Structure 1
Amino acid sequence: MCRILEKTILSDILRHLVLLILILVLSGCAPRRILNANPHPFPSSPAEKIERNKFSVDKGDDVIGRLAFLRLERGDTLPDIARHFGLGINQISSANPGADLWVPAAGERILLPMSFILPDHPRTGIVINLASMRLFQFKENGKSVSVHTYPVGIGSAERPTPRGQMHVSRKMFRPTWYVPASIAEDHRKKGDPLPAKVPPGPDNPLGEYALYLDEPTYLIHGTNKPASIGLNATNGCIRLYPEDVKKLYDETPVDTPVNIMRQAYLTGQRNGVIYLEAHGSSGDSDAIELKTIYAKLRAMEKKSAHRIDWKKVENVLAEGKGIPVAVSRFQQKSGTGAERVIELRHPGRLYGRPEIPELKMDAWYVLAAEMGDKTDAERAAAIINHQGPPIPARVLPKGNRYRVIAGPFENLGTAELAVRRLKTDLEMEGILIEPPSKR
């Protein structure tokens, strides 16, 4: 049974609410509701002059995209930046190992790893590389090949995504999720029982679009948990951002071949320059994988006009950041070299970033946590905000401590559901805060 908190926290919330209303009145603005199902259109700001998902590849080239730098602003999180620029959490965190995932420093300059080496596989249909957690969709386009690429979430260690050659057997808009017995049992043990089936809507983990594979029970689908893209977080399916799966759904006919593989080391060329991309440290790989990649590089070196910097190869394999790195040696003034890293202007509004509804006088709230460190509290609030479906949360000071408050919630039922989800998903003991009208 949920506990209901004493009046002191409620009075803190109301005090902040009165202050917020006063500020809005003095500035000539009326309070307005911010949160809605789809607050922004798909990313299309002309300020970010860089391609995120769609590329054209000349035959003989294997590398697509560009690397870019971006300076962060206050309130940014790396998951929001990743989603806006078509990346997964795995990619942006590996490229920026020192950055705080949830509360990065304002003004911090981060690398956007928006360059990729194509998998070593025939360029047809859909190819998914589990090591990079990216999906590639190929289409012939005359002398070049059109490539659409999207970040994905994949199966966990306990329920891995199967590998092999498959095809799309059918497609479904607004699918119903029939809960597998194993997943139902897991939730039952956690005290979070699931129904036999979940209809379309915000609670459906399949999202709005699903492509069913001929491998039984495995799908390529959307999600109601966008912050899980780039993680081993599914029960074996392939999960995409909602905006990405819509594009894939529209552009993929039934019977499209789907090849799922794991290639931790990728080599390729662009404009005669040899690149190497490594996912995971070479210390975690077996000898066969390393032997194979060295053999590929030596074969490429023999056909190239440039020698390979083998020390750089060792560094790339040891770091395993998942970023294509030029490993060719260049003569000074040769006029050739790796692609230049570009600087991007901050887009201002990040697509999909959770927006917190304003405080309301007559609403339910949940005290999710109380902490002595402001950054820790902001981190906890950011994590809660990125749950799926969203749970709005903010930080309110109380003396020299900081309280993470979830809400507002329209009624007791939705507040109690938030308490259960905080317990099940984040192991947080939420405490209900009732509105004054209920006292």
Structure 2
Amino acid sequence: MGKIKVSPWYSPSYPEEEIERNQFLLAKEDDVIGRLSFVRLEKDDTLPDIARHFSLGINEINTANPGVDIWVPENGERIMLPLCFILPDAPRKGIVINLAAMRLFQFKGNSNFLTVLTYPVGIGTSERPTPMGQMYVYRKMARPTWHVPASIAEDHRKKGDPLPSFILPGPENPLGEYALYLSKSGYLIHGTNKPSSIGLKATNGCIRLYPEDIKMLFKSTPVKTPVSIVNQPYLIGQRNGLVYLEAHVPLEDSGASELEKMYAKLKNIEKKSVNTLDRKKVQVVLNEARGIPVPILEIRKESGEGADDEAIEVEHPVKLYGKPEIPELKMESWYVLAAQMQDKIDALRIAAIINHQGPQIPARVISKNDSYRVITGPFNDIGKARDAIKRLKIDLEIDGKLIEPVRKK
């Protein structure tokens, strides 16, 4: 069964700053916001860098582009930006978070015309999942202090990474610069010092946003705002006379029941349409689970011009927002050898992964004697270099070796 085709190559190019990624106007009868886009990668791009620039999670850009290397994609490769979303089946009030899509939606305005703000999120792991249900924002805090829960402190102690009882605001604080405390005790919507974890099951149950996204959400969210957390891997929505289906890989033990709900909803929609549901296309969408809305049924003919749902080409940004910068080499500084390998692509991949740790550990690839060395640094003193060795071991299971400064004679 063939893959779903979503866009021709000959569509015109748009400046990237004109492409909306966070704020959309929503008509009362619509369920779909945004527009699929494409961009051509340039040298040294990574998918996490592209994802962050366009306010996408790594899950979204990865599943929309199967087969593309996350860390070392090919120069000139054309990738999809899945900037089109079906809204969760939930009351359009306050904040709604869909765990299956790893995306937060905030609704502003009245019942006739709403503004929808949306951001990708990181969610809880399988061991410590994010709870579902109805909550509200209990309080807000800029530059929060993180009081380390006993269970998390114990996990770190077992890994040889003991934590203090609390961590003050700053680059080491995993809550980032802003936090919304939820009415369910112990759970927050907050920023992060690990931006490349957005779009992953990587938290201890909290909802995590990019630093720039939590700043916007924090400013626009008053205390007492309702928060609804749902798990909907299969989303159905209508826009411009078309019915769309968006499928995500279900979270643990949620697939069968959610699939049953989806088919029941499609059956009701089909009854009201003069056209027949494209069941082969539905199956392709479900099998691929790429997280992009695909039209599966036409419910009416449009008179006059409707919205243009064609995917569009986006010009590559001059500079990718948040892309890690690597300081220049300084012979008088300390460094750490993280890896040495024969394959250049493997070395570049390791360096990219290290560069995207949070806080960043600068890493680069240096060729030497037909092999490739992954070097981290520069570090101003031996203490910071040893801290990097510790983090490489705990976070990535990499055994780093200290490289001393070159002393002037």
The corresponding residue for 1:15 is none
* 1:315 aligned to which of 273, 279, 284: 284
Runs of 5+ unmatched residues, structure 2: 1-13
Matched, 1:97 2:80: no
Q: Secondary structure at the match of 1:91?
A: helix
Alignment of 1:344-383 (within 5 A): 344-383=314-353
- State how far apart, in whole Å, the 2-side matches of 1:421 and 1:164 are: 36
Q: May I ask how many residue pairs the two structures share in their alignment?
A: 395
Q: Give 1:332 deviation, angstroms.
A: 11
Q: Give 1:191 deviation, angstroms.
A: 0.7
Q: Give 1:290 deviation, angstroms.
A: 1.9
- State how far apart, in whole Å, the 2-side matches of 1:287 and 1:222 are: 33
Matched, 1:79 2:48: yes
Asked whether the equivalents of residues 156 and 162 of structure 2 are also in contact (C-alpha less than 8 Å), the reply is yes
Alignment of 1:231-250 (within 5 A): 231-250=200-219
Amino acid at match of 2:353: I
Q: Give 1:57 deviation, angstroms.
A: 0.4
Alignment of 1:330-349 (within 5 A): 339-349=309-319
* 1:433 aligned to which of 396, 403, 408: 403
Deviations 1:171-221 (A, max 9, x none): 000000011111111111111111111000000000000000011110000
Amino acid at match of 1:421: R
Q: Give 1:84 deviation, angstroms.
A: 0.4
Alignment of 1:29-428 (within 5 A): 46-141=15-110, 143-280=112-249, 286-329=255-298, 339-428=309-398
Asked whether the equivalents of residues 273 and 300 of structure 2 are also in contact (C-alpha less than 8 Å), the reply is no
Q: Pick closer, same or farther for the CA change 1:386–1:266 going to 2, 3 Å.
A: same
Q: Give 1:436 deviation, angstroms.
A: 2.7
- State how far apart, in whole Å, the 1-side matches of 2:24 and 2:364 are: 39
Stretch of structure 1 that moved more, 134-143 or 391-400: 134-143
Amino acid at match of 1:350: L
Q: Pick closer, same or farther for the CA change 1:340–1:320 going to 2, 3 Å.
A: same
- State how far apart, in whole Å, the 2-side matches of 1:56 and 1:411 are: 52
Deviations 1:115-166 (A, max 9, x none): 0000001100000000000000001147311100000000000000011100
The corresponding residue for 1:8 is none
The corresponding residue for 1:40 is none
Runs of 5+ unmatched residues, structure 1: 1-44
Q: Secondary structure at the match of 1:55?
A: strand
Q: Secondary structure at the match of 2:18?
A: coil
Asked whether the equivalents of residues 281 and 320 of structure 1 are also in contact (C-alpha less than 8 Å), the reply is no
Q: Secondary structure at the match of 1:328?
A: strand
- State how far apart, in whole Å, the 2-side matches of 1:386 and 1:438 are: 33
The corresponding residue for 1:31 is none
Asked whether the equivalents of residues 283 and 318 of structure 1 are also in contact (C-alpha less than 8 Å), the reply is no
TM-score (norm 1): 0.86
Asked whether the equivalents of residues 192 and 424 of structure 1 are also in contact (C-alpha less than 8 Å), the reply is yes
Q: Pick closer, same or farther for the CA change 1:138–1:282 going to 2, 3 Å.
A: closer
Deviations 1:48-79 (A, max 9, x none): 42100000100010000000111000100000
Amino acid at match of 2:365: V
Amino acid at match of 1:323: I
Asked whether the equivalents of residues 15 and 315 of structure 2 are also in contact (C-alpha less than 8 Å), the reply is no
Asked whether the equivalents of residues 301 and 308 of structure 1 are also in contact (C-alpha less than 8 Å), the reply is yes
Give RMSD over aligned pairs.
2.2
- State how far apart, in whole Å, the 2-side matches of 1:148 and 1:329 are: 27
Stretch of structure 1 that moved more, 254-263 or 278-287: 278-287
- State how far apart, in whole Å, the 1-side matches of 2:121 and 2:164 are: 26
- State how far apart, in whole Å, the 2-side matches of 1:249 and 1:401 are: 48
Amino acid at match of 2:322: G
Deviations 1:323-354 (A, max 9, x none): 10000159999987971010111012100000
Deviations 1:76-121 (A, max 9, x none): 0000000001100000000011100000000100011100000001
Q: Give 1:362 deviation, angstroms.
A: 1.0
Q: Secondary structure at the match of 1:246?
A: helix
Identity %: 66
Deviations 1:223-244 (A, max 9, x none): 0000000000000000000000
